[in-house]
Structure 1
Amino acid sequence: MYRVFLTFIAVFFLGCNGPIKTSVVGDRPPNILFILVDDLGKEWVSDYGAEDIVTPNIDKLAASGMQFNNVYSMPQCTPSRVTLLTGQYPFRHGWVNHWDVPRWGGGAHFDETVNPSLVQEMRRAGYKTCVAGKWQIDDFRVEPDALTRAGFDEFCMWTGYEAGVEPSAERYWDPYIFTKEGSSTYTDAFGPDVFRDFIIQFMKDNKKEPMFIYYPMVLTHTPFVDTPDESANNNLGKHKAMVRYTDKIVGELMEALKGNQLLDNTMVVFTTDNGTTGAITGGYKGRKIKGGKASTVEAGICEPFIISWPGKVKANQTSDALIDFTDMLPTFIDVAGAASTNKWTQHNASQIIDGKSFKNVLLDSTESAREWILGMGGGNNARLTANGVENQYNFRDRVLRNKKYKLYISSNRAPEKFFDLKVDPYEEHNIIDSLNTKERTTNFERLKQVLESFPIKDNDPKYQSNPDQEWDVEITAESERWKI
């Protein structure tokens, strides 16, 4: 594991590591409910044009606020989740690839001492913080206090599959769940119900204080299962049942906010961590779309993204503003009234944050501060070395896009494909050899210029290694020398 040395900003206000007072119009800052569905593309949300499903509660959420068309996640679980927690791109925080910490270990973990931490700043801004669902970037056997250190006051989590602990494979029926009381199987329970109920109880217990509620769902990730409401005899039928149950839970959470008189002062954010599994195909705007998970095609990274904020965000809006997952950290902290890094902890303020706040897009229906968004990473192209988990590629392939054009960049740092998404939204006609108009040439050169701003070499995951465990995967590569 390589060491990380931080250069701290020299001047801070006195008491910079204690709680701060935020400046937000009104009696208190808004609550934030951040819903992150697992493995679901636009082709499974009816308001976006899905034809094989109806999602009335998600559609209602969209009608109450702003629906976004150009929001990029990363193409798989780990890079997306670390990106939104840190406000950094995978090439900077190092979690370029999927690495299942409870399953593979190797000393790897999300280390809040060397990475920026969204939740720490939300708690510092006066928020009560809660997480329920899926984490998978720490092993709670090794770090039972991992979520507390990350900034959460309360938590109720599927452990992820812990190597050697067979019950931990279950996230749906008879789920294996970690709380402050430890880990255990919830016999006869359905995991999504447990997480929903935990969040609703947290709302009731903390409604007198501003709340940051992070709900990374286990739905709709495989395995395909029956839900309490429906049974099906094939994977597609089970997937549809899981999507409908996701929609049902969204509606139940909205009713809980309303019932606890919280709805009018809560910003609800709905999105997904990446596209649908490739095992599922859905009808979308007259086409059949194969799930794009683990790919940087639009179906893999351009996600459904909806924000409802009564009294602040006007209803029935759509936006083409450019946003990506690095923007979650600065936006949530901005909404909390702590946009200035002078109000952050010294550690977090010293970090490079790639994201940009889009609060003004919500309040004023303006454009975002971005000229481009980025998607990269995914797959299991990482190995354990004597120095820790390392990425296979020194420079991972990635995509850059603006509102109209999309540029694919290879692991050799060379442009390899170029698409006009306005006329070719399904990326069927590569025009990199047809830069025969001024508009095409100008946009190609602008996106290519962004490439020059990236570091020559991507970082590997940044962490101080945890102690060796008997279930750690074996070292299978020689540090640095195995890289491409």
Structure 2
Amino acid sequence: MILKPIPLILLSFLWLPCNHISGQSTQPNIIMILADDIGPETLSVYGGQSYSTPVLDAMAAKGVTFLNAYSMPSCTPTRVHFLSGRSNVRNYVYFSCMDPNERTFVQDLKNAGYRTGAAGKWQLRGSQVYPEFYQQGLHPTDAGFEEWCLWQVDESGERYFDPLIETHQAPPTVRVGEYGPDIFNAFAIDFIENHKSEPFFLYYPMVLGHGPFHTPPGRTPSSNIHINFGNMLSYADQLIGNLAMKLEQLGIADNTLVIFAGDNGTSQRVPSKWNGHYVYGGKGATSQFGLHAPLIAYWPNNTSPGSYDSDLLEFTDFYPTFLEMAGLDMPRDKIYDGISFLDRLKGTNSGKSRKHVYGWFWPKPDKVAQPAPRTWIVTDEWKLYGTGQFFHSVTDRLERRNLQFSANPIVVAARNHCQALLDGYPSMPPAWGG
């Protein structure tokens, strides 16, 4: 399939409120779009100047853009964070593997009557990186998904051209002559169509724009990484536009929260123009370009058009937010780290605010030259690493001026406060002796 650009005249009608269809559930639908390796410096709403994303631009113009959302630096850690609502220090096992005993918010939504679907990248079942955990991680059905079309569940393989895809109805199959992103998008649209009269949760973890960097269908072939990444991002933008048009066609857009986020920083091989100068992506790094995630939300009659939210947010916060939207209480079976930001989606800021973000990152223990996990605390003004490095995030976003040994009383007090927060977390997950 060759994806054609959405006509400009149609862009003006995307992300608009509409009337309910007859028989539609009053419980809000939720669509979570998680782009792969797309950092904020790539999007114009965050100061990006290299790429064209008219659908996401329109979404931001009609919704709310979160300026201080934090993910983990790479794929699996963020996904574990997101689905479990718990810090990696409490439950991380191995790369591409999530503890199958972990509870997910998807299970809770399903039990409350939501129809649940997933389309795209899984990477939580276990992989050949660690043979002892191969296929021992969390299966999408066990995670709470009734219907799914995913890459990297029980087997690995290509994700783009001739992709190896598994569904809830079929084993891993090579789809010869097809393009993975198109398959996932079509599945997502069918899921929305089939459940338009029921409350649904759709998880759409896109495979774009993770490498290998290539030319999507219908684009001019190139071997340039920068050009190919831009074409991949543009293609992802148009796929998101397909979902928006389907919601409006069905008359359910006004009862649907749509969230777009990136799972971590852009590949370090990709240069992008940002606020007047070129920067490289920070995937895998714990710096600003590795942790700072783009996050845009649109919910008609709730989000304030063209608004910005500068308060802290992290991916564990989705769990309590989605449950509160569905009228559910948080489980009390274990420690959960998330704080609902439903009030911020509605523009009221009447709920509990997040005062800090904590991170624990050791994606591939025993497999990479990283002798110990990296840890950090981020507040609205400061950032402290477990190594002692200390930065004033407001004036030093690139972390070039280490204030670890500063004797300034204000700096000392802030550093001591952050250290106390850091000391309040376990040192290791249970799987690693914590």
User: Which residues in structure 2 correspond to 1:329-368 (within 5 Å)?
Assistant: 329-338=319-328, 340-341=329-330, 344=331, 349-366=332-349
Contact 2:139/2:153, CA 8 A, preserved across alignment: no
Q: CA deviation at 1:27?
A: 5.4
**Runs of 4 or more off by more than 4 Å in structure 1?**
139-145
Q: Give the residue type in structure 2 aligned to 1:426.
A: L
- Name the structure 1 match of 2:191: 202
- Name the structure 1 match of 2:400: 428
> RMSD of aligned C-alpha atoms?
2.3
Query: 1:459 aligned to 407, 430, 434, which one?
Result: 430
- Name the structure 1 match of 2:164: 176
User: Which residues in structure 2 correspond to 1:236-255 (within 5 Å)?
Assistant: 236-255=226-245
Q: CA deviation at 1:145?
A: 9.5
Which has the larger displacement, 70-79 or 222-231?
Answer: 222-231
Decide whether aligned partners of structure 1 residues 295 and 368 sit closer, same or farther in structure 2, where only a CA change above 3 A counts. Answer: farther
Decide whether aligned partners of structure 1 residues 298 and 264 sit closer, same or farther in structure 2, where only a CA change above 3 A counts. Answer: same
Q: Compute the TM-score of the two structures, normalised by the length of structure 1.
A: 0.78
- Name the structure 1 match of 2:80: 82
Q: CA deviation at 1:425?
A: 1.7
Q: Distance in 2 between matches of 1:446 and 1:142?
A: 42
Q: Compute the TM-score of the two structures, normalised by the length of structure 2.
A: 0.87
Q: CA deviation at 1:321?
A: 1.2
1:276 aligned counterpart, secondary structure: coil
Note the residue ranges of structure 1 that are not aligned, 5 or more in a row: 1-25, 101-108, 163-167, 385-390, 411-415, 462-479
Query: 2:280 aligned to 287, 290, 311, which one?
Result: 290
CA offset digits 1:172-224 (Å, max 9, x no partner): 01111101122211111110010000010011111110010000111111111
Contact 2:119/2:150, CA 8 A, preserved across alignment: yes
Q: Give the residue type in structure 2 aligned to 1:271.
A: A
1:34 aligned counterpart, secondary structure: strand
Q: Distance in 2 between matches of 1:426 and 1:277?
A: 17
Q: Distance in 1 between matches of 2:318 and 2:120?
A: 19
- Name the structure 2 match of 1:120: 107
Q: Give the residue type in structure 2 aligned to 1:28.
A: T
**Percent of counterpart pairs with the same letter?**
34
Q: Give the residue type in structure 1 aligned to 2:227.
A: G
2:391 aligned counterpart, secondary structure: strand
- Name the structure 1 match of 2:225: 235
Query: 1:223 aligned to 201, 212, 216, which one?
Result: 212
Q: Distance in 2 between matches of 1:38 and 1:274?
A: 7
2:399 aligned counterpart, secondary structure: coil
Q: Distance in 1 between matches of 2:301 and 2:366?
A: 46
Contact 2:77/2:363, CA 8 A, preserved across alignment: no
Contact 2:302/2:347, CA 8 A, preserved across alignment: no
Q: Distance in 2 between matches of 1:27 and 1:137?
A: 31
Q: Verify: 1:37 aligned to 2:9, yes or no.
A: no
Q: Give the residue type in structure 1 aligned to 2:292.
A: C
User: Which residues in structure 2 correspond to 1:26-425 (within 5 Å)?
Assistant: 28-95=26-93, 99-100=95-96, 109-112=97-100, 114-138=101-125, 142=135, 146-159=139-152, 162=155, 168-179=156-167, 180-230=169-219, 231-338=221-328, 340-341=329-330, 344=331, 349-366=332-349, 369-382=353-366, 393=372, 396-410=373-387, 416-425=388-397
Q: Distance in 2 between matches of 1:121 and 1:379?
A: 27
Note the residue ranges of structure 2 that are not aligned, 5 or more in a row: 1-23, 128-133
Q: Distance in 1 between matches of 2:138 and 2:52?
A: 40
1:147 aligned counterpart, secondary structure: coil
